[in-house]
Structure 1
Amino acid sequence: MFKSFFPDSRWFWPSVIVWATICCGAWFEFSTAIGAVFGLTMTEKAPVIGLGHFVTDSFKLFYAYYALSVALFALFWFQFKPSRWQWWSILGSAFILFSTYYSVQVAVAINNWRRPFFDTVQVALNQNASQKVSPLELYQLIVQFAEVAFIAVTMFVLTKFVVSHYIFRWRTAMNDYYTSQWSQIRHIEGASQRVQEDTMRFATIMEDLGVKMVDAIMTLFAFLPILWGLSQYVSELPIVGAIPYPLFTAAIIWSLFGTSLLAVVGIKLPGLYFKNQRVEAAYRKELVYGEDNHARAQPATLKQLYAEVRHNYFVMYFHYVYFNVARSLYIQADNIFVFVILVPTIAVGKITFGILQQILTAFSEVSNSFQYLVNSWATIIELLSIYKRLHSFEAAIKNEALPEIEQTTA
């Protein structure tokens, strides 16, 4: 699944982790000193609104630093272990990583814009305020939002285009690898479907989940400091009272609760999804044989195979009932949770409308990032099932015993 597309997996993934750790550590430790060498200011006194957010000195240095780090890493692997898909697997992954980071920074830029815009709106709506707001001020802020939104649209379209090609290359790599080993895997139930369909779905889901995971991690790095700073405007929470950094603490506890809840109630679903694909493949295979062989696909056989399909679906429907109940209840509670913890602060008027909007956005970004498993659980279930199906190919190619689930009936 991985070695067909990426370089030598035994060393490639450890090298990714080690190199990423070194580069990140060097950036956080020495970026200020490096910036000073080139006459760049790495800290801004106040958030920059609009397009200026993306061309500050710290961003300029980051662009160069990231490009150099990726170039050195790619050059090493191009020389050490050349592979057919290296341009896509290494540089393509690096581009997707960068575009994900850039998208997170777009969200940060929009969050920075919220305070001046909504504070200006609040002043404009207050007819008794001594300060008056001109339409030009509001139009200027709207134009700044439009500029950032244009960047967001451009990055979204470009990323989708690159990711589409990336996914197809990964699928092609797996397809070529498994078809070259066809004599060893052809006996596995639904082998043709696994090669044709599961490779495509695996690449698609892995890329989707991978991008979401990176986005979640980068969002946390970007918004946790913001939420930490905004906690100064919230002195206490309902029931628990005053605690250090209440917004930061509440977001972490609430998100971990949701993640644990969904992981527990959904623990049976991956195996059921796997069995569902098996019984569907067996039923479809018999129908295909029946097209050319009159002795196959007899009513009794089809009835028995379809009964297995029906049984597995009904069992899966039952387990999805309580999973969906828990997931829906948590999602609905999540929609109102931040307002609940802000009630004491709102009631005494300690924050402006602009700060409220910043808190809502930052809390939502941090909460959603921590809830990565909650938001992606249904997709993870499907991925685990596909992984199990393709893992059987790996076992067959290595002449190992098939996984236990392949040896049991549905």
Structure 2
Amino acid sequence: MFRSFFPSPIIFFSSVVVWTAVAIIIWFGFLSDFVPMLEYLEEFVPQAVEGERPPFLTVDKLSIYIYILVAGFGFTLIWFFIERNKWYVWSVFGSTVIILVTYYSVQISVYFNGWFGNFFDLIQKALTEPNSVKLSVYYGELITVVPILIVSISVLILLSFFVNHYVFRWRTAMNDYYMENWPKLRHVEGAAQRVQEDTMRFASIVEGLGVAFVRSMMTLIAFLPLLYSLSQKVTELPFFGRVDGSMVYVAIMSALLGTVLLAVVGIKLPGLEFNNQKVEAAYRKELVYGEDSGDHAQPQTVKELFAAVRKNYFKLYFNYLYFNLARYAYLQGSNFIPLAVLGPTIVSGAITFGVFQQIRDAFDRVEESFKFFANSWTTIVDLISIYKRLSAFESIIYQDEVASHDDAPQNA
């Protein structure tokens, strides 16, 4: 699944974690102190002015963007020399591109959080003080985001196109790997489905979950400090009073509660999904044999196989019944948490409408990031079942490789 596409998967993914940690330590440890010294950048980017909405690109932001690009593509260059396998361009370089573009989209979200805060304050002023805001000023604010939206939308479209090709290349790598070992695998029940369907679904789900997880981590890094800073404007929490960084703690507790809840009620689902594919494969195989031989797909045999399919589906439906009850109750209820905890602050008039929108947006993004497993649990269940099937499938290759190694003559 992984070694067909990535070079030395265990070492590769471990190096990703280590490289990322080292890059963060270097930046926040001492390199960020040199940003004010980059005076030559001031000629190319505008400067933030206190009290005004900051521009999209500043010296500080441009500096960290350059650093992240160097760190990202520096990692790909190192692996170019360490181990450049057949799929290096897509697995190493392509993964880096996807992560960097994901980081860019998170920074866009951070910018819009500040932009909407100022814009909603403008709306509040216009509504409470009629004719205090000129129409030209109102439309002028809207126009400022048009170039950013055009670039952002274009990047997302190109990323979607790139990801489609990325997933198919991964599927191709797995397909080629299994076909090279097809003589060992062809007798496995459902072998054709493993190669044709599971490879496609596995690559697609892993890519989707991987990008979502990375985006969640980047969102936390970007929005946690922002939410903590905005929380200073929250006067008090119900029952708890004044708490520094209050909205951060509320987001963490809300997400943790939902994740634990769904993990507990959905613990049986991966096994049921795995069994579901087994009984489906047995039923499908008998029908396929019946197309060529009258000895197969007899009424009694088909009846028994389909009864096994029905029994597993009904168990799956029952488990999803109470799982979805917990899932939707939590996901819908969590939407009202920021409204409830901000109640004392709102009724006291301690914040403007723009700040309220900023807090709520930052809270939602932080909570959604912490709720990654809760939101993705059904997809994770599907992935686990596919992983189990492909692992059992690949175990035949590994067993033969071990047996071949053991049978090889040993040097004295």
TM-score, scaled relative to structure 2: 0.92
How many corresponding residue pairs? 397
SS of residue in 2 equivalent to 1:104: helix
Which residue of 96, 109, 112 corresponds with 2:98? 96
What whole-Å deviation, never above 9, does each CA across 1:173-194 have from its counterpart, x for those lacking one?
0110111111222232211101
Q: Paired residue for 2:201?
A: 201
Shift of residue 241 of structure 1? 2.5
What whole-Å deviation, never above 9, does each CA across 1:107-131 have from its counterpart, x for those lacking one?
1111110121111111111137xx8
Q: Paired residue for 1:113?
A: 115
- 1:87 correspondence with 2:113: no
Shift of residue 34 of structure 1? 3.5
For residues 215-364 of structure 1, what are the structure 2 equivalents within 5 Å? 215-364=215-364
Please say if residues 119 and 141 of structure 2, whose CA atoms lie closer than 8 Å, have aligned partners that are also in contact: yes
For residues 84-233 of structure 1, what are the structure 2 equivalents within 5 Å? 84-127=86-129, 132-233=132-233
Q: Paired residue for 1:390?
A: 390
CA distance, structure 2, for counterparts of residue 217 and residue 45 of structure 1: 30
TM-aligned CA distance change 1:138 to 1:192, over 3 Å: same
Please say if residues 194 and 389 of structure 1, whose CA atoms lie closer than 8 Å, have aligned partners that are also in contact: yes
Q: Paired residue for 1:7?
A: 7
Please say if residues 232 and 244 of structure 2, whose CA atoms lie closer than 8 Å, have aligned partners that are also in contact: no
Letter paired with 2:245: Y
CA distance, structure 1, for counterparts of residue 73 and residue 153 of structure 2: 27
SS of residue in 2 equivalent to 1:12: helix
**How many percent of aligned residue pairs carry the same amino acid?**
48
Please say if residues 73 and 96 of structure 2, whose CA atoms lie closer than 8 Å, have aligned partners that are also in contact: no
Letter paired with 1:82: R
Q: Paired residue for 2:58?
A: 56
CA distance, structure 2, for counterparts of residue 37 and residue 235 of structure 1: 38
Shift of residue 243 of structure 1? 2.2
Shift of residue 47 of structure 1? 8.8
What whole-Å deviation, never above 9, does each CA across 1:68-103 have from its counterpart, x for those lacking one?
223332222222212000011111001000111111
Please say if residues 110 and 148 of structure 1, whose CA atoms lie closer than 8 Å, have aligned partners that are also in contact: no
What whole-Å deviation, never above 9, does each CA across 1:145-191 have from its counterpart, x for those lacking one?
33332233112101101111100000000110111111222232211
Shift of residue 46 of structure 1? 4.9
TM-score, scaled relative to structure 1: 0.92
Divergent runs of 4+, >3 A = 40-50
CA distance, structure 2, for counterparts of residue 31 and residue 141 of structure 1: 35
Greater mean deviation of Cα atoms: 33-42 or 287-296: 33-42
